[in-house]
Structure 1
Amino acid sequence: MNLLGFLAALSGAVAIGAGAFGAHGVSGQAAEWLRTGGTYQLIHAVAVLVVVQQRATGPGWALLAGATIFAATLYAMALGAPRWLGAITPIGGALMIAGWLWLAWTMLRR
C-alpha cells in the first residue's frame, strides 16, 4: 500500500468538500478561510501525487503535512474554533515552502 498516495488522494477529497462548503454553506470570513484552505490543500494533494510517482517521498510528506496543518487550522476557525489557531497556520505554510525547496533540491540532484 502506498500510504502517502492514499493520504494525498484523501486530502484532495477533503479539499473539495471544504471548498464546496465554503461556497454554499457559509459566508463572510468563514467562507474565505474554507476557500483558501481548500485551494492550498487541493494544489498540494495533486503535487504530492506527482511527487509519489517520482519516488520523492520526503518532500511529499513535508508538502502533505504542511497543507494539512495550514488547511486544518483555517477549517477549524471557519467552524468556530478560537482565532488563536491562526498563529499555527504559518507553520503549515513554512512546511509547504520547505517541501517545495526540498523537492527542488531533490530534482536538481537527479
Structure 2
Amino acid sequence: MLIAGALAMLIAVATGAFGAHALKKMLDAEMLAIWQTAVHYQMVHALGLMGIGILQIQKPDWHLAMPALLMLTGILIFSGSLYLLALSGVRWLGAVTPFGGVAFLLAWGWLAQLVWRQRNAV
C-alpha cells in the first residue's frame, strides 16, 4: 500500500502541475476547478493509502486490504471521472463521480471500525 500510495501521489503531483501550467490556457475556470478537485481528492487518498501501508508494516492485517482497495477504487472512479470531464467537457461523466465518493466514504468508515475494534488490543 505504501507503493500504491506513493505512485498515486506521484501521479497527483504530475496532474496538478499539468493542470497549473499546460491546462491553464486550454480549460476555462470551471473545468480547471474540476481538475483541481480531482487532484486534491487523489492526494488526500494517496496519503490515506500510505497511512494504511504504515499500519500494515506495524501490524500486518489482511483486513486493511479492503479500505485500501476502496481508496484505490475511489481514486480511479472519482478523480478519473473528473479528469475526463475536465478534458472532454462530457457532462454525464459527472454522474459517475459520486460512485467514487461512495468508495471513499466506505474506505474511511471501514478503516474507522477496524481501528475501533483494535483500540483495546494495543
Contact 1:18 1:75 in 2 (8 A): no
What is residue 95 of structure 1 aligned with on the other side? Answer: 103
TM-score scaled by structure 2? 0.80
RMSD in angstroms over aligned alpha carbons?
1.4
What is residue 45 of structure 1 aligned with on the other side? Answer: 46
What is residue 37 of structure 2 aligned with on the other side? Answer: 36
Number of equivalent positions: 107
Q: Which runs of 5+ in 2 are unaligned?
A: 57-63
Contact 1:22 1:30 in 2 (8 A): no
Alignment of 1:15-94 (within 5 A): 15-26=12-23, 27=27, 28-55=29-56, 56-80=64-88, 82-94=90-102
Against the structure 1 CA distance between its residues 67 and 61, is the aligned structure 2 distance closer, same or farther, given a 3 Å change threshold?
same
Q: Percent identity?
A: 35
TM-score scaled by structure 1? 0.88
Q: What amino acid sits opposite 2:104 in the alignment?
A: M
Q: Which runs of 5+ in 1 are unaligned?
A: none
